[in-house]
A and B are shown apart, each in its own frame.
Chain A
């Protein structure tokens, strides 16, 4: 749109230098607020605790005198070594890998089928299913967990990865259904109707006409399913044991056990380790994330 474009020769878009400088300054401040904490923490994770949490001078975190004194170098991998090896963070990372992968795959499979059905059926109950999904989407996860816990103890299925995976899939369904439902609405009905006129059953039409064109929407939805599973703390912390915990509950458990000097850096290193995959994710899928965030909005 023409508003506020900065092509300088357009009189409609002209703005005073002051305003232009102000906008750039504002953006820089925002960038600083958004990104600096991460950069700072990533930098600090290679320092000793005495530097990252410096009583004397915050500049220590940059120069790193305590790190040099303790390890001989300006940077140290002690935090990472402690977290990944000593505290077995690798195990948590592996569990996270299994959980997120399974949750994403299963969510998408169920969600694609369900979302397609919701988008193509004109009956009144689709509306009620979507409304129910909206209400379910709003449920604080911990209230659901408080419903699971006792039955899971009774059935003796508490503390296993598959249980957590299924629970996360279910918690994820309302969102997945909404998103894929609005995505399938944007695929013209003519496509599957033409396939059915040509002799397909409904399922064949879905398989042959819809599946080939649905990937952009599925990838976008998948990103959000991934994020939900990856970022979950409530469910995983309550449903998994110490030994098969995923990364986020594991980080939380570090906080309890890291009062002594040095150990808090394990948590810092673990936190940075957990951020990196997200960083990579945004790098590769920025466009999909943005379009996914707005997809729901367009449908209102």
Chain B
């Protein structure tokens, strides 16, 4: 019933294209994350769903109703904003009650509903405070409480964690995931943080420059990135991308050769692999050269070479040590390699 469909959505401001021909079908109870760098159109997409921005072309369907021209108050949604958007003159209790008040929910149900939400976001001790008297995390929970006080068709969350410190972010993330699975409400979540996307999402939509780059489960996105943008955006550190040529299954670039790639493609390509998939080795490696930097990450040691104009990194055993400028060899087995078209950046399938 609470399926959300976006059909051929376009958003333009004059000549500037904010969102281009976007199609999405979001299933009931799904947790969908829109992921991308700032300015990629993810927030615009969410604001169009909320009714805070108009749609230049296309249709938004909530359930089976076209909602393009409904003002926000007539769409059955609730939203958590990046800087929370709390009402500074109202107490926590009144903030959470606000949607019930303005949506004319019968008064005798208010207290019960508000208290249920207050308990879910654990704000029982702060009900009578004003937002100004709360910490950032508490404010965030008020915003969350206000969103869940009703049972809307869709939850929208616009970077709700980005104003929290790192530690709080992790615990609140878990809380959001837990709440969503309890409440079983379709959720659209916008973030630029790939870890949030990977941990929360049923499906991730990676966006760039107003266009969808890839839609898939976190595993699909991580394992088979559809293009160089997705490859470089997902994962930490970003996937190594090396420009070179391929001929008869052999990839060559300055200072490195990888043989036995299972593809009949030939010509200029971009080869990618993840630092955590490769390792250093004593001999017969695919990349050899003086080390540019050695970083101790705690759970691993990261070795970086300069390769052409770019840097290539490999994660290895946490006890591995090397000096800068010492010559080291890295092993890049063919199974971990991804190939992308040098021009379009699109993934080249391997057999």
> Which of A's residues lie within 8 Å of B, judged by CB?
2, 7-12, 14
Q: List the 9 closest pairs (A to B, CB-CB), nearest first.
A: A9-B54, A10-B54, A11-B51, A11-B71, A12-B52, A12-B72, A11-B69, A12-B51, A14-B71
Contact (Cβ within 8 A) A2 B54: no
Q: Determine the chain A residues whose CB is within 8 A of the CB of B53 once the complex forms.
A: 10, 12
> Which of B's residues lie within 8 Å of A, judged by CB?
51-56, 68-72
Q: Which residue of the partner chain A has the closest CB to B56?
A: A9
Contact (Cβ within 8 A) A2 B71: no
Q: Which residue of the partner chain B has the closest CB to A7?
A: B54
Q: Determine the chain A residues whose CB is within 8 A of the CB of B68 once the complex forms.
A: 11
Among B52, B55, B56, point to the contact of A2 (Cβ < 8 A). B52
CA distance A11 to B71 in the complex (A): 5
Q: Determine the chain B residues whose CB is within 8 A of the CB of A2 once the complex forms.
A: 52
CA distance A10 to B52 in the complex (A): 7
Q: Determine the chain B residues whose CB is within 8 A of the CB of A12 once the complex forms.
A: 51-53, 71-72
Q: Determine the chain B residues whose CB is within 8 A of the CB of A14 once the complex forms.
A: 69, 71
Contact (Cβ within 8 A) B70 A11: yes
Q: Determine the chain B residues whose CB is within 8 A of the CB of A7 once the complex forms.
A: 54
- B43 to A: closest C-beta gap in Å: 14
CA distance A11 to B51 in the complex (A): 6
Besides A8-B54, A11-B70, A12-B52, 9 more A-B contacts (Cβ < 8 Å) are: A2-B52, A9-B55, A10-B53, A11-B51, A11-B54, A11-B68, A11-B69, A11-B72, A12-B72
Q: Determine the chain B residues whose CB is within 8 A of the CB of A9 once the complex forms.
A: 54-56
CA distance A2 to B53 in the complex (A): 9
Q: List 9 A-B contacts (CB under 8 A).
A: A2-B52, A7-B54, A9-B56, A11-B51, A11-B69, A11-B71, A11-B72, A12-B51, A14-B71
Q: Which residue of the partner chain A has the closest CB to B72?
A: A12
- B128 to A: closest C-beta gap in Å: 26
CA distance A9 to B56 in the complex (A): 7
Q: Determine the chain A residues whose CB is within 8 A of the CB of B72 once the complex forms.
A: 11-12
Q: Determine the chain A residues whose CB is within 8 A of the CB of B69 once the complex forms.
A: 11, 14
Q: Determine the chain B residues whose CB is within 8 A of the CB of A8 once the complex forms.
A: 54
- B15 to A: closest C-beta gap in Å: 16
CA distance A14 to B56 in the complex (A): 15
CA distance A14 to B51 in the complex (A): 10
Q: Determine the chain A residues whose CB is within 8 A of the CB of B56 once the complex forms.
A: 9
CA distance A7 to B13 in the complex (A): 11
CA distance A296 to B301 in the complex (A): 58
CA distance A2 to B81 in the complex (A): 15
CA distance A66 to B72 in the complex (A): 62
CA distance A246 to B53 in the complex (A): 56
Q: Determine the chain B residues whose CB is within 8 A of the CB of A10 once the complex forms.
A: 52-54
Q: Which residue of the partner chain A has the closest CB to B50?
A: A12
- A168 to B: closest C-beta gap in Å: 42
CA distance A2 to B54 in the complex (A): 12
- A288 to B: closest C-beta gap in Å: 30
Q: Determine the chain A residues whose CB is within 8 A of the CB of B54 once the complex forms.
A: 7-11
Q: Determine the chain B residues whose CB is within 8 A of the CB of A11 once the complex forms.
A: 51, 54, 68-72
Q: Which residue of the partner chain B has the closest CB to A9?
A: B54
Q: Which residue of the partner chain A has the closest CB to B47?
A: A12
Interface centre among A2, A10, A14 (most CB of B within 10 A): A10
Q: Determine the chain A residues whose CB is within 8 A of the CB of B51 once the complex forms.
A: 11-12
Q: Which residue of the partner chain B has the closest CB to A2?
A: B52
Interface centre among A2, A10, A11, A14 (most CB of B within 10 A): A11
CA distance A10 to B70 in the complex (A): 9
CA distance A10 to B13 in the complex (A): 12
Q: Determine the chain A residues whose CB is within 8 A of the CB of B71 once the complex forms.
A: 11-12, 14
CA distance A14 to B73 in the complex (A): 12
CA distance A168 to B71 in the complex (A): 55
- A104 to B: closest C-beta gap in Å: 40
Q: Which residue of the partner chain A has the closest CB to B12?
A: A9
